[in-house]
Amino acid sequence: MDDLDKKALSELMAHGRITWAELASRMDLSSPAAADRVRRLEDKGIIKGYHAEIDPEKVGYGLTAFIFITLERPEHTAEFLHLIKEIPEIQECHHITGEDNYLVKVRCHGTRDLDRIITTELRGMHGVVKTKTVIVLDTQKETTTVPLKSNDE
């Protein structure tokens, strides 16, 4: 992956799947060259897909929360993860270090909705013995952009 590939990725992260012609002009390259590079990046799985970004507040999902979950025993893991994937309000689920086992990011309508998710959906699962909820008051930065260069180098 050279600098031109990085340039392509950063343009695509910023604008989605634009036309070869437009991408080519942003990269100072011809259309066939730009198309070739992007197809290679797609084939390698470096580009996983293309998505629209929706404003969660404008569609009624104004409350964000992070929930730490403790699982009683490892045997519960498979079923737990399967159920987690079925809950649309759960955007992320990470296995983490520390006191608790999992950290999930939730996006929902409001506190009543959050209460239902914690009480019914999560604490109703086998093996979930403890949850710890952190409510998001305000979000100052939120991007899915991968940092192709850091401030360090």
Interface with a copy of itself (CB under 8 A): 1, 9, 12-17, 44-56, 58-59, 61, 64, 66, 81, 84-98, 103-104, 107-108, 113, 116, 121, 134-152
Q: Which residue has the tokens 């159920």?
A: 83
Nearer to DNA, 40 or 109 (CB): 40
Q: Which does 33 bind (CB under 5 to 8 A by kind): a copy of itself, DNA, none?
A: DNA
Task: Supply the minimum distance, in Å, between the C-beta of residue 42 and DNA.
Answer: 12
Task: Supply the minimum distance, in Å, between the C-beta of residue 107 and DNA.
Answer: 27
The site that binds DNA (CB under 7 A) totals a number of residues, namely 14
CB 63 within 8 A of CB 111: yes
Stretch that binds DNA, among 15-23, 92-100, 101-109, 118-126 (CB under 7 A): 15-23
Q: Which does 112 bind (CB under 5 to 8 A by kind): DNA, a copy of itself, none?
A: none
How do strand 63-71 and strand 102-108 relate by DSSP bridges? antiparallel
Q: Which of residues 115-144 bind DNA (CB under 7 A)?
A: none
Q: In whole angstroms, what is the distance from residue 68 CA to residue 7 CA? A: 37
Nearer to DNA, 23 or 128 (CB): 23
Q: Which of residues 18-57 bind DNA (CB under 7 A)?
A: 19-22, 28-33, 35-37
Element (H, E) at 24: helix 20-27
In angstroms, how far is the first alpha carbon of the chain from the final one?
17
Nearer to a copy of itself, 28 or 142 (CB): 142
Q: Residue type at 51?
A: H
* Angle, helices 3-15/31-43, rounded to nearest 10 degrees: 80
Q: Residue type at 43?
A: D
| Sequence-ordered list of residues with C-beta below 8 angstroms from that of 22, at least 6 positions apart, any chain | none
